[in-house]
Structures are given as C-alpha cells and as structure tokens.
Amino acid sequence: MFTMNEVCKLTNMQYETLKFYCNQGLVPNVLRDKNNYRIFDNHDVEWIKSLVCLKKCGMSLGEMKKYLELCLEGSSTIPQRKIMLEVKQKKLFEQLKEVQDSIDYINWKQNFYDEVLSGKREYFSNLIKKH
C-alpha cells in the first residue's frame, strides 16, 4: 500500500493534482487507513499513471471522467474507448508534425547560418531589400 506522497513520487504527479483527481472521482475505490488518509494499491498506482498519460494526451477532466466511466462498465465499452483514444492520437500526430516542421526549419536555418559563417554561401535575408 502507498501513501499520497509515495504515489506522487511514483507517478511524478503533484500532491494537489492527485488530491484533486481523487476528489473528482477519477481514482475510484480508494481505501483509507485508520486515520482516514487515502492509501493506494498497485492497481490504483497503475491507473493514476494512466491518468497522467491521458492528461498529457490532451484529455480534459470531463473526457477523463467519461473514459473512466466507460472503463468501469467493462469490455463492452472498448469500441467507444478506442474511438476516444483515436481522436486524441490523431491530434497528437498533428502536433507531432507541427513540431517536426519547426525542427526541420531550425535545422535548415542553422545549416544556412553555418554555411554563411564558413564562407560556403553568401548571406541573404528576406527582410533586407537590396536597392
């Protein structure tokens, strides 16, 4: 069994975030010790790791609640969950392409500057007009 602080270290989650998720019902069936502190088992920790990933995937609180609801309904909701994840995956691929395009531009520009500095290429700028 794990305390809130231990779970936060294991999942790289802020204490306040874990408490918020618990209060929002995103971590179902959490047990409490004799002092009424939340305690978590391995299943809880793995689910919390999933929540961290879902958040990084861009799921809103409402979407995470819906996803949890579907999970709790069992395997009959797998098709719906797959659709939810596919939507997020598509968005992530779009973001990845945008990031890759930016990296490609920076690589091109760095190479351009290297060639200018080494004398292999004449400098030009789209911002400076020649008269």
Residue 78 lies in a domain: no
Q: What is the pLDDT of residue 129?
A: 80
Distance (Å, whole) CA 45 – CA 121: 56
Q: Which residues of the chain have pLDDT under 70?
A: none
Residue 69 lies in a domain: no
Tell me the whole-structure pTM to 2 decimals.
0.79
Counted domains in the chain:
2
pLDDT in tens, 69-103: 999 999 999 999 999 999 999 999 999 999 999 99
Domain that holds residue 112: 87-131
Are 51 and 103 part of one and the same domain?
no
Residue 35 lies in a domain: yes
Distance (Å, whole) CA 43 – CA 87: 26
Are 53 and 91 part of one and the same domain?
no
Distance (Å, whole) CA 76 – CA 70: 9
